[in-house]
């Protein structure tokens, strides 16, 4: 029986493209003082096509931490100081528009009404996670919110997922990891959790299916899957 659900944030609770394509364009133009040509050239190094506002499926931004993204960008900004550069990256992330994949408040309230404990674990920063969930008015629905910098590590390592299970007092065998990337699902399998993939990120069914109990179009289909899983 599933007793707790841990969600990824970007590409799962929020549509990845709508949020992070806007972030990438804003950040790159800010970092290059509006130089469109330089911003476009640098964007290719993180798998982002600035003129078409589109990420490549293998972009480091999709599942990487802000630190990993900063590491990939820093060689192109030799004049920048790392901490200030990372702070600017996170500042732009906090301002990125959030497009909910489904209306989150009623969806999460339904899950909580079933007696499920909910959490969020993102490879984004914890501060940005709180900001995004707060903007949608759903931060209080979660008993656990962690980022790559919360002290538990980052996906695909299982450690932050196991930290969630410990925090809410649920055996991993009775917990579910829901995410849009192989990082999410591999971490879930390593933690001994059940896993569900969703297609609101950049990965397709063929990519996610080997690591998931099932792949759903979006999290709104999760309630029906839970009903079937409990039969």
Residue percentage of the chain with pLDDT more than 70? 100
12 token code pair: 């799962």
Helix (H) or strand (E) holding 194: strand 194-198
pTM given for the model: 0.89
Condensed to tens digits (0 to 9), the pLDDT of residues 32-66 reads 999 999 999 999 999 999 999 999 988 999 888 99
pLDDT reported for residue 117: 98
Average pLDDT, whole number, for the chain?
95
CB of 62 closer than 8 Å to CB of 202? yes
Condensed to tens digits (0 to 9), the pLDDT of residues 157-212 reads 999 999 999 999 999 999 999 999 999 999 999 999 999 999 999 999 999 999 99
86 token code pair: 């990372």
- The alpha carbons of the chain give a radius of gyration, in whole angstroms, of 17
Arithmetic mean of pLDDT, 110-132:
96
pLDDT reported for residue 231: 65
The full set of domains in the chain, from first to last, is 4-15+98-229 (3.40.50.1000), 17-95 (no CATH)
CB of 4 closer than 8 Å to CB of 174? yes
Arithmetic mean of pLDDT, 145-160:
97
Nearest to 125 by CA among 105, 158, 154: 154
231 vs 200 pLDDT, higher one: 200
175 token code pair: 């917990």
């Amino acid at each position: 029986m599933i007793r707790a659900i841990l969600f990824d944030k970007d590409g799962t609770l929020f549509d990845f493209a709508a949020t992070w394509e806007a972030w990438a364009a804003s950040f790159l133009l800010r970092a290059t003082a509006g130089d469109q040509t330089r911003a476009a050239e640098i964007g290719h190094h993180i798998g982002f096509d600035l003129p078409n506002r589109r990420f490549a499926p293998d972009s480091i931004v999709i599942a990487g931490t802000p630190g990993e993204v900063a590491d990939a960008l820093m060689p192109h900004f030799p004049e920048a100081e790392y901490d200030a550069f990372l702070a600017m990256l996170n500042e732009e992330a906090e301002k990125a528009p959030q497009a909910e994949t489904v209306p989150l408040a009623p969806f999460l309230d339904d899950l909580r009404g079933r007696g499920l404990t909910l959490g969020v674990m993102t490879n984004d920063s914890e501060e940005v996670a709180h900001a995004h969930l707060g903007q949608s008015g759903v931060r209080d629905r979660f008993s656990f919110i962690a980022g790559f910098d919360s002290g538990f590590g980052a996906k695909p390592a299982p450690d932050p997922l196991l930290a969630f299970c410990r925090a809410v007092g649920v055996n991993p065998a009775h917990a579910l990891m829901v995410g849009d990337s192989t990082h999410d699902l591999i971490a879930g399998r390593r933690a001994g959790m059940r896993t569900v993939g969703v297609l609101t990120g950049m990965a397709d069914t063929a990519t996610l299916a080997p690591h998931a109990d099932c792949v759903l179009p979006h999290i709104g289909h999760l309630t029906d899957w839970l009903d079937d899983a409990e039969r």
